Amino acid sequence: MKTLYLALKYLAIALWSAFVVFPFLWALTTSFKSANGVTGGATWIPWVQYEPSLQGWQSLFGGVGGINVVKPFYNSLVVTLSASVISITLGTLAAYALSRFTFRFLWMRNSDITFFFISQRIMPPIVLAIPFFLMLRSLGLLDSLPGLILVYVALLMPIAVWVMVDFFNGVPRGLDEMAWMDGCNPIITFWRVILPNALPGLVVAGMFCIIFGWNDFFFAFTLTFTETQLLPVAIVSLNSSVTPWWSLSAAALVSIAPLVVLAFVVERFLSKGGLAGAVR
Amino acid sequence: MLKITDLELLVGSVAHLAAINASFQPGTLTTILGRTGAGKTTLMRAIAGLIAPDRGQILLDGTGWTRLPPWKRPVAMVTQQFINYPHLNVRDNVAFPLVRAGVAKADAAARAEAALARVGLAAMVDRRPSALSGGQQQRVAIARALVKKAPVLLLDEPFVNLDYNLREAFRKDLVDLLAVETGTVVLYASTDPREALQMGDQIVLLADGRIVQSGSPRDVFANPASLTAASVVNDPPINPIPFHQNGVADFGALGQQAITLPSGAYTLGLRASDIRAGGPHQARVTLTEVTGSETLTHLSLNGLDLVMQEKSVVLRSPGDVVGVHLDLHKGLVFGADGQRAGV
């Protein structure tokens, strides 16, 4: 009975894994195909079913009819990481304050203020695009990395606040008080006691920010022209009258790679139970 | 000496602490005894600086504390919940206050290990608190409180969340641990009169945010000053038997006791242990509670609700009729104002 259960469990896991991994596998094989290889049906085995070609990968690094992804990749990296770090830093401080201190602003209390932050994300992006465009233009920051970083901070910080408020609320106040009595003022309490115990939240918020920043196309497209093209915009520019599937597949893999690496790196921080043993 | 004068703390218009005046000597263990909601935790939190009183002063050796934030007060506290730092191992948990106070890391670790050895956790210094049992976690918290050598140690029902046997063992250990802390004012909050009688050098009875009596545990137990004090210091609470006296004491069907009192309404407080089975008064059982090796039988007698305490397990069913004897001569008489009368 136990063997049957295990067999069924592993079968289910295998099926789900195949379902999840299949698109990546398909993109990988397609990235090594030429036009003939792509139109020649569902083929998998190189040299046997299709002749492998580096055309797709070459087109990403200045090859004929392609682009050079190095600069957009670098731009995306700078914008995403800068905006995420700033958002997480400001958002975490705001969230800690909202979690621990009582605020009143007009009719609003802490929960209203928290909701006010996240409500910024309820608006459709198109509503924000024109104001952002006009603001960046008047600041002389259109088509620039600082301009994009500013916009992304405005978009990402609500996510950081929202996620972190929840995590800080889950850290018992008794821990703050114990730290005070052990000689920590509120700043040291935050830094030495509360933040280490909200690490999973920090990782979750960071992941959200990085994924959103890295994958955003809309604002990257509307607020830049040619100087500071980001990776998603560069990938779309590969498209022409004939869809170059091999180049798009290679570009898709390039753009996914950092997130995959990130997922493996932070996976261990996301385990539950970080606060076990705090207050029983 | 820790001195508290005219301490008052209001929440809305409700006084959670009122007119608290007390002084506590170094090297003494004072039990703050009161029922749930009496204000024990509030008093401790006010001393620790976790809540600000509306009025009054807290002084340690003449120095005012009232305006000091908690991180500047030399106080150690152990709470009902077992609070430890989850991200630090047991050694670092205990060394934490020392490191914050500027003690070198190696020295702090050595002192932490010594403190952990005192509470019997020498073998667990590298574990995280989450890998310990509830009792062990509370020992870590106690070690962290002791290692600071703070002049004021607040213990807020530290064993209330432990099971009975563990609680008994810990209580004895704690008395031994505290015996060497000769320069420390120790306040121990409890709801359990037996704990107070067993542990404290001094007892302070708290009810509705006010000190109702203080003194040596034996004195307070033998001579409660009021019906409220008698209720707090007895577990189960004392049985209040109201009576009206016209000229001469008349206890009617309940028996005879000659006390010369002016006419008026009184209450006779009778401890549950002063009611015995096997007497002339026929009482009806309403509930039986067996706690450990004791039995508490709730009785209805002539319209009075009484509790009888027996040092054995006796199973009775609701509705049973049991003959009881009331040791009325051991009763305490209280006047209409709730204060002790006839003494």
CATH code where residue B179 lies: 3.40.50.300
Nearest-CA distance B124 → chain A (Å): 14
Does the structure show a pLDDT above 60 at B255?
A: no
B86:A183 CB<8 A? no
Indicate if B252 and B221 belong to the same structural domain: no
User: For position A278, what pLDDT does the model report?
Assistant: 55
Indicate if B282 and B222 belong to the same structural domain: no
User: For position A210, what pLDDT does the model report?
Assistant: 94
Does the structure show a pLDDT above 90 at B75?
A: yes
Of residues A175, A184, A191, A189, the one with CA closest to residue B71: A184
- Are B270 and B331 a contacting pair, CB within 8 Å? yes
Q: Facing residues of B248 across strands? A: B246
Residues of A in contact with B161 (CB under 8 A): 280
Does the structure show a pLDDT above 50 at B253?
A: no
* Beta strands B210-215 and B185-190, pairing class: unpaired
User: For position B328, what pLDDT does the model report?
Assistant: 82
- Are B266 and B336 a contacting pair, CB within 8 Å? yes
What does the mean pLDDT of chain B come to? Answer: 89
User: What residue type is B239 in one-letter code?
Assistant: N
Nearest CA in chain B to A183: B71
The answer to whether A191 contacts chain B (CB < 8 Å) is no
- Are B151 and B184 a contacting pair, CB within 8 Å? yes
Does the structure show a pLDDT above 90 at A190?
A: yes
Indicate if B283 and B221 belong to the same structural domain: no
B256: CATH: 2.40.50.140
In a domain, B216, yes or no: yes
Does the structure show a pLDDT above 70 at B258?
A: no
pLDDT in tens, B274-290: 999 988 889 999 999 99
User: For position A16, what pLDDT does the model report?
Assistant: 95
pTM: 0.81
- Average pLDDT (B254-272) is 74
Going by pLDDT thresholds of 50, 70 and 90, the confidence category of residue A279 is low
The long-range contacts involving B260-263, CB below 8 angstroms and separated by at least 24 positions, are B260/B342, B261/B333, B261/B341, B261/B342
In a domain, B177, yes or no: yes
In a domain, B165, yes or no: yes
Indicate if B182 and B284 belong to the same structural domain: no
A50 vs A246: CA distance, rounded Å: 13
Report the SS3 class of residue B318.
coil
In a domain, A205, yes or no: yes
Last residue of a domain, one of B182, B207, B232: B232
Does the structure show a pLDDT above 80 at B331?
A: yes
pLDDT in tens, B159-200: 887 777 777 778 888 888 887 777 899 999 999 888 888 888
A242 vs B30: CA distance, rounded Å: 87
Residues of B in contact with A188 (CB under 8 A): 100
A159 vs A151: CA distance, rounded Å: 14
Look at B210-224, B255-269, B283-297 and tell me which has the smallest mean pLDDT. B255-269
In a domain, A192, yes or no: yes
User: For position B95, what pLDDT does the model report?
Assistant: 97
In a domain, B84, yes or no: yes
What does the mean pLDDT of chain A come to? Answer: 88
Nearest-CA distance B135 → chain A (Å): 10
A181:B144 CB<8 A? no
Last residue of a domain, one of B232, B261, B288: B232
A175 vs A189: CA distance, rounded Å: 9
In a domain, B255, yes or no: yes
- Are A230 and A223 a contacting pair, CB within 8 Å? no
B87:A197 CB<8 A? yes
Sign for the pseudo-dihedral over CA of B276, B281, B285, B286: negative
pLDDT in tens, A247-277: 889 999 999 999 999 988 887 776 654 554 4
In a domain, A47, yes or no: no
- Are A168 and A160 a contacting pair, CB within 8 Å? no
- Count residue pairs from A and B with Cβ separation < 8 A: 78
For chain B, positions 158-177, list CB contacts with chain A under 8 A: 161
For residue B45, the tally of other CB atoms under 10 A from its CB is 22
User: For position B178, what pLDDT does the model report?
Assistant: 81
Nearest-CA distance A205 → chain B (Å): 20
- Are B96 and B144 a contacting pair, CB within 8 Å? yes
Does the structure show a pLDDT above 80 at B37?
A: yes
User: For position B252, what pLDDT does the model report?
Assistant: 44
Report the SS3 class of residue B286.
strand
In a domain, B340, yes or no: no
Tally of domains in chain B: 2
Nearest CA in chain B to A184: B71
Indicate if B327 and B224 belong to the same structural domain: no
Cα dist from A144 to A157, A219, A220, A278, B149, whole Å: 20, 12, 10, 46, 58
Indicate if B46 and B93 belong to the same structural domain: yes
User: For position B247, what pLDDT does the model report?
Assistant: 65
The two tokens of residue B204 are 């302070």
The answer to whether B229 contacts chain A (CB < 8 Å) is no
Residues of B in contact with A179 (CB under 8 A): 85
Does the structure show a pLDDT above 70 at B260?
A: no
User: What residue type is B269 in one-letter code?
Assistant: G
Domain encompassing residue A227: 70-270
End-to-end CA distance of chain A: 38
In a domain, B342, yes or no: no
- Are A205 and A163 a contacting pair, CB within 8 Å? yes
A278:B86 CB<8 A? yes
Of residues A205, A232, A239, the one with CA closest to residue A75: A232
| DSSP letter string, B8-48 | EEEETTEEEEEEEEEEE-TT-EEEEE--TTSSHHHHHHHHH
Closest CB to B84 among A180, A273, A278: A278
B315 vs A195: CA distance, rounded Å: 55
Indicate if B55 and B176 belong to the same structural domain: yes
| Helix residue ranges per DSSP H, A32-69 | 35-39, 55-58
Nearest-CA distance B231 → chain A (Å): 31
Going by pLDDT thresholds of 50, 70 and 90, the confidence category of residue B10 is very high
A102: CATH: 1.10.3720.10
Indicate if B27 and B95 belong to the same structural domain: yes
Of residues A78, A80, A60, the one with CA closest to residue A70: A60
Altogether, the residues listed in chain A come to a count of: 280
Does the structure show a pLDDT above 80 at B240?
A: yes
User: For position A196, what pLDDT does the model report?
Assistant: 92
Look at A123-127, A214-218, A264-268, B209-213 and tell me which has the smallest mean pLDDT. A264-268
Does the structure show a pLDDT above 70 at A131?
A: yes
Domain encompassing residue B34: 2-232
Tally of domains in chain A: 1
In a domain, B93, yes or no: yes
* Beta strands B294-301 and B332-334, pairing class: unpaired
Indicate if B285 and B228 belong to the same structural domain: no
| Helix residue ranges per DSSP H, B206-262 | 217-222, 227-233
B216 vs B227: CA distance, rounded Å: 18
Indicate if B118 and B259 belong to the same structural domain: no
Going by pLDDT thresholds of 50, 70 and 90, the confidence category of residue B262 is confident
Indicate if B253 and B310 belong to the same structural domain: yes
Indicate if B212 and B258 belong to the same structural domain: no
Last residue of a domain, one of B202, B232, B262: B232
- Average pLDDT (A28-36) is 86
Going by pLDDT thresholds of 50, 70 and 90, the confidence category of residue A185 is very high
The two tokens of residue A177 are 């008080």
In a domain, A3, yes or no: no
User: For position B160, what pLDDT does the model report?
Assistant: 83
Q: A39 or B339, which is more confident? A: B339
